[in-house]
């Protein structure tokens, strides 16, 4: 089940205003150009910012899939959204439908999407499903944080607290705070408080910080090849941009 941060209707509507800087998506636009992509499957599309950029800036055929219906509802209201195919679900749902087999040049998992798969079998199933939807020679691109950077040590209320004026909601307060580190699993809370009426909505998330070797092994085990691990351009030394060929 998706975290409340993405599946709660009120939280989904303020997700973009609370985190407006999506310059991280420029890396994926560069990949689209690098491989001369004409069709993209965006797994974990969230509120659809990347999908809508793809159709408005590159005129591509795009499918966005996400299990959080509230986030997809926000996506559907954005400019260009009518040119995107939206699916509320997960990659295995697409793989179960023959009409999606070998249909896409590129599959992406932006931001933290690749790290939400905590169980190894779920992660492998996701990768196999994505590969089923890629054309032979197509590519998968995703990012993952470098464990040795220990990013979670910066996820504190002191460093992340903000109060933002959001149209239609007034002032909205939020922050992140790590509550547990268990090996590769990092759990954190993300409270959001709507100051106009005092409603507080709590969301708890867990991410898995896999090693580079584990990521490479999982890709090879699910039929990908030519795995390339690049330094994440906007966070050098702190994240990997991983590209593999189907």
- Residue 32's H or E segment, with its range, is helix 26-34
Does the model's pTM come out above 0.95? Answer: yes
Per-residue confidence (pLDDT) for residue 144, from 0 to 100: 98
Reported confidence tier of residue 58, pLDDT bands at 50, 70, 90: very high
* Residue 4 confidence (pLDDT) above 90: no
DSSP label at residue 38: S
Provide mean pLDDT across the span 99-121.
Answer: 97
Closest by CA position to 215, among listed 147, 155, 136, 157: 147
Mean pLDDT of the chain: 97
Q: Are 16 and 42 in contact (CB under 8 A)?
A: no
User: Per-residue pLDDT tens for 150-194?
Assistant: 999 999 999 999 999 999 999 999 999 999 999 999 999 999 999
Amino acid 146: pLDDT: 98
How many Å apart are CA 155 and CA 112, to the nearest integer? 14
- In 3D space, the residue among 210, 5, 183 whose CA is nearest the CA of residue 122 turns out to be 210
With bands split at pLDDT 50, 70 and 90, how would you rate the model's confidence at 101? Answer: very high
Q: Which of 25, 78, 62 is nearest to 232 (CA)?
A: 25
Band of the pLDDT at 70, cuts 50, 70, 90? very high
Residue pair 140/111 in contact by the 8 Å Cβ criterion: no
């Amino acid at each position: 089940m998706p975290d409340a941060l993405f599946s709660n209707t009120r939280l989904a509507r303020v997700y973009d205003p609370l985190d407006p800087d999506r310059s991280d998506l420029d890396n994926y636009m560069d990949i689209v150009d690098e491989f001369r992509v004409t069709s993209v499957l965006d797994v974990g599309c969230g509120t659809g910012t990347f999908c809508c950029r793809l159709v408005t800036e590159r005129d591509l055929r795009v499918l966005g899939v996400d299990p959080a219906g509230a986030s997809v509802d926000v996506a559907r209201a954005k400019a260009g959204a009518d040119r995107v195919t939206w699916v509320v679900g997960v990659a295995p749902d697409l793989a179960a439908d023959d009409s999606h087999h070998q249909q896409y040049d590129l599959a992406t998992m932006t931001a933290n999407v690749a790290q939400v798969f905590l169980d190894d079998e779920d992660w492998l199933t996701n990768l196999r499903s994505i590969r089923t939807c890629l054309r032979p020679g197509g590519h998968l691109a995703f990012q993952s944080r470098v464990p040795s950077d220990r990013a979670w040590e910066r996820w504190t209320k002191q460093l992340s607290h903000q109060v933002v004026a959001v149209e239609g909601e007034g002032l909205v307060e939020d922050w992140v705070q790590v509550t547990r580190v268990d090996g590769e699993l990092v759990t954190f809370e993300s409270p959001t408080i709507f100051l106009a009426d005092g409603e507080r909505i709590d969301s708890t998330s867990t991410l898995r910080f896999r090693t580079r070797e584990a990521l490479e092994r999982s890709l090879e085990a699910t039929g990908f090849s030519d795995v390339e691990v690049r330094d994440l351009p906007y966070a050098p030394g702190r994240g990997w941009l991983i590209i593999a060929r189907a």
